[in-house]
Structures are given as C-alpha cells and as structure tokens.
Amino acid sequence: MSPRRLEPEAGAVPILVWTRTLPPGAEKQLRHIAAQPYVVEHVAAMPDLHVAEGLAVGTVFATEHHVVPGALGGDLGCGVSAHRFPFPAASLGRDVLARLLTRLAQEVPVGDAVHRGRGLSLPPELESPGLSTQKLARAWERLAPRHLGTLGGGNHFLELDRDAGGDLWLLLHTGSRGVGAAIADHHLRVARASGEGSLPGLDVRTPEGAACLADVALACRFARANRDALAARAVALVAEELGVAPDVAATVDVHHNHVARETHFGRPLWIHRKGAVGLAAGERGLVPGSMGTASYVVEGLAEPRAFRSCSHGAGRVLSRREARERIRPQALAHALRRVVFDAGRAAALVEEAPAAYRDIAEVLEDEADLVTPRLRLTPLAVLKG
C-alpha cells in the first residue's frame, strides 16, 4: 500500500503511515515525536506499529545532529537470525521435534536464566570495550560473559520452521540482554537531565551525545555476538541430531532497535529505528510472525520515504495484560495444535498467543512497497523464553 499522510500539527514534520490500522495511542506517540525540535524530513510508521513505552514500536525518524535514547527501546540491537538446513522437515515427527526442543532448552539459557560462574569467553573485540562510565564498564564486566549466548524472555524465541521447498530452518530472536538494558537506562537518564525536547535528544557534537552513540554501538555489537553465540550452540545441536550441516550461505541476520548514520534525501542523517529493520535494495531480511503463524524471508525495496525500512514482525494488537485477560490457555493450545511447544507453560505463554498479534499476511500487504516476500517459513516447534 502507498503510505497515508497524517497532516502535521504546527511546527511538526509530516507522518507517513504504512498500516491500515492506526491505534489511537500509537498515533499520539507518532505526533509527539513528529513535534520534537530535532526531527527532520518526516516520521515513518511501519505496519506493525503499536504503543510502547516512550515511542511506538514500528517508528522510524531522522535527525541531523541528535541521538534520542528513549526512541530506541531498552533491548538495543535486538534482532532475528535464520539458519537453513538442507533436510526434509516433513520427515520430523512430533517426537523428534519435542526432543530437539528439550535439548535446546537444556543447552541454551532461556527466560531469566544466565550462564553460571564466570560465563562464556567474550569475542576479543568485546573483552574490554571503552564504555563511557566506570559504572557501565563494571556492569559490562559483570553481565556480558554471563548473558552472552542466552535467549531472554518475552517475545524472544528459538523456532524450527519449514520452507515451501521442504527444508528445515532454525530461527532465533534475542538482543543485548542486561548489557543493553544498562546502557539504555544510563543514557535515558542523561538525556532527561540535559537533553532537548519532551522526548529528550542529545546533540551528538557534545560529549554526552557522542558517548551515547558509542555505547549504543557497543550494545548492538554485543547483541549480534549474543545471537552468534546462541546460534553456534543451537545450530550445532540440530546438526548433530539430524546429521546434516547448515547452509551457511543462506544465513540471515537483522536487528531492529538501533540508530545508524545513513544518507537520505541527499544528506547524512541519524536514522532511529524502534522495532523496524533497515534494508538496502535487494538485501535479505526477516519478518517473523507469531509463535503459531508463518515468518518470511524478504528482500528490501529501499523505499526512500520509509528511510529504506520495513516492519520487524507482525506487531501486537493486544498488550500483554490484555492478552492475559482475554486469551485462555486452552485457546492457545488449540491455536498451536500443529506446533510443538511446552504445553505445560500455556498459562504463561498466552501473552505470545497468535491472537495477540496482527495477521502477518496483512502486515506484508501493507508494506508491499517496502519489501518483497521471498520465502515463507511455517513453524513446526517453538521454544519461548
């Protein structure tokens, strides 16, 4: 669909919306960011737009000289990766899938679980990063080795899928864990104390702004290292169980809570994406559905009005509280009757039920000028944090 334009209020930039459904609370958050003094060009809203703390998930905007900590989410660098196995997924019975899930849950710390003791060895480039404060450096030293290669909770997942050709895929969704949360919290407090605007931004030409950019970049690199470490363990486990090596060339990894220096409309800008993915023309990305619906490998179309962005998933239509109030465990079990999952956790997993999310087909229709779907991945087994 072509974007719908929301006429700007006095002193604000326009808003372009790629969703047929615009939640009132999300529109309010869009108008709030569009009115900030540092925002340039326009604000772009992705089709998975929904209300979140500070700024709606699915919001993309640009600044010339500011970084806005409160516009990036707490899980900096959070993203999704996908790994293909040339193996006939249809040959896997529920017993094999259940065994794989059990082994993955044993091998990978999920939910609040972290590595015990000293944790894992960090990649050399992340062993002693130059964080902006001693407190953050101590948090990194304490948390990074124990959180590397861990899944986390909420909507983070490990998932086994089947593509249209019958091959098996492993998908995982996780981010920067406690490291990113500590960095996000610190710079949000700095911005509230000395930033500009009612959603405070820090001028990147100041020490505070430069420190924020550097620390956020570190968090994003840790998030990628976390996915790589988690994938290395999970991929090896699946390969061992099935006796087949992964197709490394097919691997895809994208992140969706970040700020990046990019050229748009003829000038360098700081592009902020909260719950949105940046893709160059022809670049592959991932748009996951819910734990009971399909995910897609897509190719970017580099739509300039969207700052070359697309949705990061299906997008919530029910808050976690609403999902707990409205969705019964039995309804979740029925929705997932063709998917292997931990049925003993059904009461806790209603927050992630398919009914809590938008129809992924609608999302892709709404962003037809942002991405082209290339591969449909149907869920077979899902491990939620």
State residue 24's pLDDT score: 84
Which tokens sit at 162? 């089947």
Per-residue pLDDT, averaged over 43-69, amounts to: 97
Span 312-348, pLDDT tens digits: 999 999 999 999 999 999 999 999 999 999 999 999 9
* Residue 338 CB partners (closer than 8 Å, separation 6+): none
Q: What is the mean pLDDT of the chain?
A: 96
Residue 312 is a catalytic residue: yes
Q: What are phi and psi of 127, to 5 degrees?
A: -70, -45
State residue 7's pLDDT score: 87
- Domain extents in the chain: 4-317+357-384
CATH of 4-317+357-384, one of 3.40.50.300, 3.30.390.50, 3.30.470.20, 3.90.1860.10: 3.90.1860.10
Residue of 66, 264, 312, 334 marked active site: 312
Per-residue pLDDT, averaged over 50-73, amounts to: 97
Q: Is the pLDDT of residue 97 over 90?
A: yes
Whole-structure pTM value: 0.96
Q: Are 143 and 119 in contact (CB under 8 A)?
A: no
Q: Are 294 and 373 in contact (CB under 8 A)?
A: no
Q: Is the pLDDT of residue 1 over 80?
A: no
Residue percentage of the chain with pLDDT more than 70: 100
The CA distances from residue 26 to 125, 144, 290, 324, in Å, are 39, 33, 21, 21
Q: Is the pLDDT of residue 53 over 80?
A: yes
Cα atoms found within 13 Å of the Cα of residue 379, Cβ hemisphere only: 26
Span 183-207, pLDDT tens digits: 999 999 999 999 999 999 999 999 9
End-to-end, the C-alpha distance of the chain in Å comes to 34
